[in-house]
Amino acid sequence: MSPFPSSAPRTEQWRHIRLTRHDGVATVTLDRPGKLNALTFGAYADLRDLLAELSRERSVRALVLAGEGRGFCSGGDVDDIIGATLAMDTAQLLDFNRMTGQVVRALRECPFPVIAAVHGVAAGAGAVIALAADFRVADPTARFSFLFTKVGLSGGDMGAAYLLPRVVGLGHATRLLMLGEPVGAAEAERIGLISELTEEGQAQKAAADLARRLADGPALAHAQTKALLTAELDMPLAASVELDAATQALLMNGEDYAEFHAAFTEKRPPNWQGR
């Protein structure tokens, strides 16, 4: 995403999500605990626009996604979204579905690592949002459900048919997307859907600790690693190796690479600048 700002001012208050920032770490909390943080049209739009804004600012070096209350996110709100979409025409439905996909693209393309802190339910769109994060830190109460076929829709919603096979393999992805059955934390860890399994109630703390570790590290190296992981999913080996070479040549001209050598020589921790 381009760092060049437009005429639009920075958003001071987000109406549909809760945002906090501290020393390079942003935390986005889905905050409708009475409805298990079910997503509304406004929440999707806020997530899409926030990720674009943070990407342009370049002040955030890691982001945590969390849910308030008993779960992470139960998916799209049955009344506010599913009920409303029944009255939409095809053009409106296409606009809505493109917006949900833009959230996933923004999570994959933003130049900082994203950590989903999952407890309780992560269902439907909530499961895909967690899937699109770079890390999924979960406690034993977490359960993932890709529910789209349960409501009569394709399991390949919001990029799930692209991302899930690349995370857990085609066989597991077929089962999860076809059947829509919940996957508990133990199984999710076994098939690779969870990056880290914590003690109960500790997912958000562990996610925050990981975000702090990432934010204190070489931000440009992390951004380029994420970009290569996403880009090379669909590239042949020869093109991937060439892209790696070009990326490394650019980073070898950067301040952080020289800083590592100076720190190693002086026997001190590196002072990463993200440049």
Domain carrying residue 260: 219-266
- pLDDT of amino acid 1: 55
- The answer to whether residues 129 and 243 belong to one domain is no
- The answer to whether residues 175 and 236 belong to one domain is no
- pLDDT of amino acid 2: 64
Q: Tell me, what CATH number does 129's domain have?
A: 3.90.226.10
Q: Nearest Cα to 102, choosing from 128, 82, 84? A: 128
Please give the DSSP secondary-structure letter assigned to residue 23. Answer: T
Cβ contacts of 100 within 8 Å, gap of 6 or more: 44, 125, 157, 158
Please give the DSSP secondary-structure letter assigned to residue 54. Answer: H
Q: Which residues of 109-127 are buried (b: 16+ CB within 10 A; e: fewer)?
A: bbbbbbbbbbbbbbbbbbb
Domain count along the chain: 2
Give Rg (Cα) of the chain. Answer: 19
Q: What does the pLDDT profile of the chain (275 residues) look like in tens digits?
A: 566 777 778 888 899 999 999 999 999 999 999 999 999 999 999 999 999 999 998 899 999 999 999 999 999 998 889 889 999 999 999 999 999 999 999 999 999 999 999 999 999 999 999 999 999 999 999 999 999 999 999 999 999 999 999 999 999 999 999 999 999 999 999 999 999 999 999 999 999 999 999 999 999 999 999 999 999 999 999 999 999 999 999 999 999 999 999 999 999 999 999 99
Q: Any alpha helices (H) in the chain, and if so which ranges?
A: 41-57, 84-85, 90-109, 125-132, 160-168, 170-179, 185-190, 203-215, 219-231, 237-252, 255-266
Please check whether residue 8 lies inside any domain of the structure: no
- pLDDT of amino acid 79: 86
- The answer to whether residues 23 and 72 belong to one domain is yes
- The answer to whether residues 44 and 30 belong to one domain is yes
User: How many C-beta atoms surround the C-beta of residue 86 within 10 A?
Assistant: 7
Task: Supply 152's token pair.
Answer: 């009569």
Q: Estimate to the nearest angstrom the gap between the alpha carbon of 145 and the chain centroid.
A: 17
